[in-house]
Amino acid sequence: MERLWINPNNDHFYMEVFTNHSTSLIPAAELDKAVQVLRNDGLILFPTDTLWAVGCDATNVVALHRLFKLKGRPHDKPVILLVDSVDMLRRYVDHLHPRVETLLYYHSRPLTVVYPDGRQLPPLALAPDGSVAIRIPKDEFCRRLIGLLGRPVVASSAHIGRMARPTHFGEISSLLIEGVDQVVKHRQKERTFGEPSVIARLSDKEELEFLRE
């Protein structure tokens, strides 16, 4: 269940999201601004269900080039895409195997799956062999952001080159902070984040293989 909530101290609007375990406040203004940035070739620095990430519209070639340049990332090194649902996932992969769909439904940890054939995506969003790595995030801010955009969002760990991945916002390089068009304020004060997601794929024999656990 969700509703709009007004903070009486500053009149900001928030999206109040109720889950089975907790209530979180998602600033609507942050969401709206992030969506506008993504729609205009922009880059955002935002928290995911695992780590802080640099993000862009995964279908936008200009934005993808900007992301790779900012991070000094080789163009042949694949990125991870986030979608908000299985329905959106189906639009960007040729086939969703029932075993994978079951895994997505029941797996409790953040899970990235490598699909052999991505579609309706530019080459920069794909691995050299045409495969694509996609995750449905558990973080509600991410899901709402993607849903409002209506397209997948790239989530590339907020570090440059061989630098260590930041465990919280305070460890992110100023080069990245200054290089993006928006730094999302949501969850900046949190000092504990999740670990990188589990990565899995379906083998040629239609067996699940875990590439990272």
Chain segment 89-146, per-residue pLDDT in tens: 999 999 898 889 888 888 878 889 999 999 999 999 999 999 999 999 988 999 999 9
User: Cα torsion for 114, 142, 45, 151, to the nearest 10°?
Assistant: 60
Distances (CA, A) of 68 to 59, 131, 167: 14, 18, 21
Distances (CA, A) of 163 to 72, 123, 172, 178, 182: 11, 26, 10, 17, 22
Q: Is residue 124 part of a domain?
A: yes
Integer Cα distance of 72 and 169 in angstroms: 20
- Determine how β-strand 132-135 pairs with β-strand 182-183: unpaired
Q: Is residue 69 part of a domain?
A: yes
pLDDT digits (tens, 9 = 90+) for 25-57: 777 888 999 999 999 999 999 999 888 999 999
Specify the residue for token string 């067996």.
207
Q: Is residue 73 part of a domain?
A: yes
Phi, psi for residue 154 in degrees, rounded to 5: -70, 140
Q: Is residue 17 part of a domain?
A: no
Can you tell me whether residue 48 is helix, strand or coil? coil
pLDDT class of 173 with cuts at 50, 70, 90? very high
Q: Which residues contact 69 (CB under 8 A, 6 or more apart)?
A: none
**Which alpha helices (DSSP H) does 46-158 contain, by range?**
61-71, 86-92, 98-106, 140-149
Whole-number pLDDT of residue 41: 97
Can you tell me whether residue 4 is helix, strand or coil? strand
Q: Which domain holds residue 160?
A: 28-212
Q: Is residue 64 part of a domain?
A: yes
Structural domain count, the chain: 1
Whether the per-residue pLDDT at 81 is higher than 90: the answer is: yes
Phi, psi for residue 62 in degrees, rounded to 5: -60, -45
Q: Is residue 88 part of a domain?
A: yes
> Token pair for residue 162?
């061989």
CATH code: domain of residue 61: 3.90.870.10
pTM comes to 0.84
Integer Cα distance of 47 and 39 in angstroms: 19
Lowest mean pLDDT among 25-29, 67-71, 171-175: 25-29
Whether the per-residue pLDDT at 5 is higher than 70: the answer is: no
Whether the per-residue pLDDT at 192 is higher than 90: the answer is: no
Q: Is residue 149 part of a domain?
A: yes
Specify the residue for token string 């969850």.
187
Q: Is residue 9 part of a domain?
A: no
